[in-house]
Amino acid sequence: MSADEPAPLSLDTQAVWAAEAGPFPFGAAVVPIVQAATFAYQDLESWRSVALHRRAGHIYSRNSNPTLEVLERKIAALDGTESAAGFSTGMAAISSTFFALLSPGDRLVSIRDSYGGTNVLFEEFLPRFSIEMCLCDTTDMESIESEISRGCRLLYLETPTNPTLKVVDIERLARAAHAQGAIVVTDNTFATPCNQRPAALGSDLVIYSATKFLAGHSDVLGGLVSGSAELVRKIYHFREIAGATLHAEAAYAILRGMKTLALRMARHNSNAQAIAEHLSRHPKVAAVHYPGLANHPGHGLARRQMRGYGGVLSFAPRGGLAELATVLDRLRLAQRAAHLGGVATTAGPPSVTSHVELTAEERARAGIPETLIRYSAGIEDPADLIADLDQALGAL
Ligand SMILES: *Cc1c(COP(=O)(O)O)cnc(C)c1O
């Protein structure tokens, strides 16, 4: 860095400024929502030069859109990657990544605790295309390494996991995967770039359900993939054809949410930590899962790999399904909903949230307890949330 070059901006500053310094059309201070389905040209020559990628510009919003492009540049900046592509949902980003990068006969290595929808891709759809699947015990790094060494085209990670918050060693597994020439993909939805930078740990691609913490207000769906220009180009090309592109309006809503991402994540982190500590001392609680707890099996790794432990925890009230229902029904400051990452606290059991796509038997096989409550701490006052949990647990 030369003496007059400014110091690199912190993530908190980038969350506000990255890709949004302008100038924007009409002198607008924020990026306009470019609602256009298509883009019109005055002469064939300039139209052709944009269509043939000789000049920057847009042709049709299934392929690219100016508002979406700002969001793509923003997540790439926050992730420290070269490029990004936006999708209509997180699942569209995940499935498009697989269909863009895998071919029949390829072997995919992943963990058993991936997001429910991702797991359905692994169990139901990818095998139909003759992709060989190997789903490993999420916390057994040695067995994952040994499966990788048997051949691996794509290593798919997610950490912390849903809903038991297991922690996976990205750097160690990425090293093993790269030795096999594999592509490493990490779902970073729970952590966000504020808490974890998978690209810096060796992940080639970073995936988000932007629906969750990135957007943060429970009012929009979206998905993002960021990584090297070369890999993102392939995924982008698949998106142009498969068509699960993010709408400009949704891109704008996610951009607006992301400006406060660092502020929100700081509060999500501290709220979840305070609640997890409180619940782990509570006589009516049988188990608490949160990587910020010193007795969590992944705590040491999380401390090395993450800058904050995130807003999601899970806990099991003492008893069975009746007690689970009692506690959930009595909560006042939690939306009982299949969602997480919003400013308002949400709570629900895996059977109707993260793992609704699985049968009870499949959940049991995946080690997902039916009596667990996944709790996504919002940005409310932690004392109010703790009092609410206490009154709900007090009914047991
Ligand atoms: C919600 C979620 C997804 C899927 O995202 P959608 O936007 O709902 O399609 C993928 N991974 C994780 C970890 C999630 O929480």
Task: Give the pLDDT confidence score for residue 350 in this predicted structure.
Answer: 86
Write out pLDDT tens, residues 168-181: 999 999 999 999 99
CB 288 within 8 A of CB 297: no
- Please tell me whether residue 316 adopts helix, strand or coil conformation: strand
Catalytic residue among 12, 41, 60, 62: 62
Task: Give the pLDDT confidence score for residue 151 in this predicted structure.
Answer: 97
The answer, yes or no, to whether any atom of ligand 1 lies below 6 A from the CB of 115, is yes
C-alpha 209 – ligand 1 centre gap (Å): 4
Is 187 assigned a catalytic role? yes
The token pair that represents 303 in the structure block: 């401390």
- What's the pTM? 0.96
Catalytic residue among 112, 115, 267, 374: 115
pLDDT mean across residues, the chain: 96
Q: Is 23 exposed, middle or buried (0-12, 13-18, 19+ CB in 10 A)?
A: exposed
Return d(Cα 173, Cα 258) in angstroms, integer. 29
Q: Which of 234, 224, 230, 228 is nearest to 101 (CA)?
A: 234
- Closest residue (by CA) to atom 7 of ligand 1? 90
- Closest residue (by CA) to atom 5 of ligand 1? 90
Task: Give the pLDDT confidence score for residue 362 in this predicted structure.
Answer: 80
**What residues are paired with 376 via a beta bridge?**
312, 346
The answer, yes or no, to whether any atom of ligand 1 lies below 6 A from the CB of 221, is yes
Write out pLDDT tens, residues 293-347: 999 999 999 999 999 999 999 999 999 999 999 999 999 999 999 999 999 999 9
Q: Is the pLDDT of residue 97 over 60?
A: yes
Catalytic residue among 166, 212, 264, 374: 212
Backbone angles phi, psi at 209, to 5 degrees: -85, 105
Return d(Cα 373, Cα 122) in angstroms, integer. 25
The token pair that represents 210 in the structure block: 């932007």
Return d(Cα 207, Cα 189) in angstroms, integer. 7
Catalytic residue among 106, 169, 187, 388: 187
Task: Give the pLDDT confidence score for residue 2 in this predicted structure.
Answer: 54
The best mutation among 186, 211, 221, 225 to test binding of ligand 1, ranked by most ligand atoms within 8 Å of the C-beta, falls on: 211
CB 336 within 8 A of CB 98: no
Task: Give the pLDDT confidence score for residue 369 in this predicted structure.
Answer: 84
Q: Which of 359, 371, 392, 321 is nearest to 163 (CA)?
A: 371
The best mutation among 168, 189, 218, 314 to test binding of ligand 1, ranked by most ligand atoms within 8 Å of the C-beta, falls on: 189
Task: Give the pLDDT confidence score for residue 1 in this predicted structure.
Answer: 46
Is 304 assigned a catalytic role? no
Give me the mean pLDDT over the 235-241 stretch: 97
C-alpha 115 – ligand 1 centre gap (Å): 7
Is 62 assigned a catalytic role? yes
Give me the mean pLDDT over the 93-114 stretch: 97
Give me the mean pLDDT over the 27-42 stretch: 97
Return d(Cα 310, Cα 303) in angstroms, integer. 12
Question: Rounded to the nearest 10 degrees, what angle do helices 248-258 and 66-79 cross at?
Answer: 40
Backbone angles phi, psi at 22, to 5 degrees: 75, -160
Amino acid (one-letter) located at 237 = H
The answer, yes or no, to whether any atom of ligand 1 lies below 6 A from the CB of 97, is no
Give me the mean pLDDT over the 93-98 stretch: 98
Return d(Cα 89, Cα 287) in angstroms, integer. 32
- Closest residue (by CA) to atom 8 of ligand 1? 90
- Please calculate the CA angle 353-256-92 and round it to the nearest 5 degrees: 45
Return d(Cα 308, Cα 292) in angstroms, integer. 8
Task: Give the pLDDT confidence score for residue 37 in this predicted structure.
Answer: 98
The token pair that represents 339 in the structure block: 């969602």
- Closest residue (by CA) to atom 2 of ligand 1? 209
Q: Residues 97, 226, 308, 117: what is their CA dihedral angle, to the nearest 10 degrees?
A: -20
Is 79 assigned a catalytic role? no
Query: Which of 204-218, 248-262, 274-288, 366-380 has the least mean pLDDT?
Result: 366-380
Return d(Cα 17, Cα 377) in angstroms, integer. 27
Q: Is 128 exposed, middle or buried (0-12, 13-18, 19+ CB in 10 A)?
A: exposed
C-alpha 162 – ligand 1 centre gap (Å): 10
**What residues are paired with 288 via a beta bridge?**
315
Cis preceding-peptide flag for 317 (omega within 30 of 0): no
Task: Give the pLDDT confidence score for residue 3 in this predicted structure.
Answer: 60
